Amino acid sequence: MNTLSNGIPTIVSMAAPDYAQELTFEKLFMYYGAKGVALRKETFKKSLKLLTADGRYNIMALLLSDVNDIPIRVSVFSGKSKADTLFSVKEYGNTCILYAMDKILEYGDAINIIQADERGRISERKDIPLFDYEAFHEAVLNAFIHNKWLGMNAPMISVFTDRIEILSHGGLGLEQDLEGFYKGVSIPVNEILASMFLQLRLSERSGRGVPKIVGAYGRESIKIEKNFIVVTIPFNRINVTPFELNEGQPTINPTVKATTNATTNATINATINATIKLTDSQKKILEKILSNPIITQIEIAEQLNLHRVSVTRSITKLQKLGVLKRVGSNKTGYWEIIENVL
Decide if 276 contacts 323 (C-beta within 8 A): yes
pTM summary value: 0.68
Task: Write the pLDDT tens digit of every residue in 152-177.
Answer: 999 999 999 999 999 999 877 667 77
Decide if 143 contacts 132 (C-beta within 8 A): no
Say what the pLDDT of residue 290 is. 83
Taken in order of first residue, the domains within the chain and their CATH numbers are: 18-64 (no CATH), 73-234 (3.30.565.60), 267-337 (1.10.10.10)
Cα distance between the two ends of the chain? 63
| Residue 147, SS3 per DSSP | coil
Decide if 252 contacts 243 (C-beta within 8 A): yes
Residues of the chain with pLDDT under 50: 1-6, 240-275, 339-342
Print burial letters for 68-78: b (CB count within 10 Å at least 16), e (below 16).
Answer: bebebbbbbbb
Q: How far is CA 20 from CA 53, 144, 250, in A?
A: 17, 21, 45
Task: Write the pLDDT tens digit of every residue in 246-263.
Answer: 333 333 333 333 333 434
